[in-house]
Amino acid sequence: MHGGASQEALSTPAAISPAARELFAGFGAGAANVVSGYPFDTVKVRLQSAAPGTYRGALDCAVKVVQREGLRRGLFRGLSSPLVGGTLETGVNYLVYSRVLDALRASSLAASAAAGGGGVGGGGVGGADTPGCTPLGHVAAAGAVAGVALSFILGPTELVKCRMQLAGSSARYPGGPLQVLREVVAAEGWARGLTRGLGATMAREVPGNAVFFTVYEVARRSLRAPQDTPGSRGGGVNVSEAVTAVLSGGVAGTLMWALVLPIDVAKTRLQAASPGTPWDVGLLRQWAMLWREGGVRSLYAGLTPTLVRAFPANACQWLAWEAIMRSPGA
């Protein structure tokens, strides 16, 4: 502990609202996810956008990128856009999820009180609640609503990211992300250009986010030790809680990406396409073209680096979230 109550009051920002705390924790979680998983994401984009036969697999792709372009300008090229976008996106994601979940809980409590029942117990995202109290249907619904909100952030940032990660992007976009933005806006205008792939992004994020939060909650409830009581908020994350966050977050991210990858492949092709090219079509036609190109193999292009990335990146994300939410003063 941190001494007496008066000393703690001086050092603890007690006036921070739950929403501000959730947003800040989401920012930290997003930064942890992006930095830890970015090289894997670059390999995924290269595999999804390259012609069949360009690379023998994920490892071959990574080696060739580093050999030809270097580590920083190859695997980490274009990091600034998704770092900013990923930080903001994850903050908004957790904030909207937590607020919607609280609203659903309040509604259930009110309905239960009106009916004379016992109600639904407390429960929020991550380690802040008593496991098993929040209905999983509420978790999935809150995740889906948050998926809608974050799609409006992810759409433009992933458009820039995908183009920066394409082969030859160093020569094509020497001016970096700002050049990509200028060219997109010049070619298609602000509204049409920056919303390219927004529908596909939403088609991925709404179900994917529902699965992500639900699987995390199920795994966390299953793994959480009896001694990990909800009263530990503000006291930091102990070893057991950290292991639970890492395993639950890794499993949630891995399963989510395994389910939504065909949508992500089509979204990548659409966002990488220039206006008027064959790939400048909607989601259903993208899938049809991918199927003709290589069947299931094309629909799941980039599966290996995606799943290899998913576990550590999402494990880092959830660990950062739990650590910040439980830190002294939170």
- Phi/psi of residue 234, each to 5°? 90, -10
All structural domains of the chain, each given as residue ranges with its CATH number in brackets, are 18-106+134-224+238-326 (1.50.40.10)
Q: What is the pLDDT of residues 194-228, one digit of tens each?
A: 899 999 999 999 999 999 999 999 999 999 765 55
The pTM of this model reads: 0.79
Average pLDDT over residues 245-267: 96
Cβ-proximal residues to 214 (8 Å cutoff; 6+ apart), any chain: 136, 139, 140, 143
Residue 234 reports pLDDT greater than 60 = no
Q: Give the span between the Cα atoms of 299 and 13, in whole angstroms.
A: 49
Residue 6 reports pLDDT greater than 70 = no
Residue 171 is predicted with a pLDDT of 81
Residue 174 is predicted with a pLDDT of 87
Residue 9 is predicted with a pLDDT of 38
Q: What is the pLDDT of residues 303-315, one digit of tens each?
A: 988 898 899 999 9
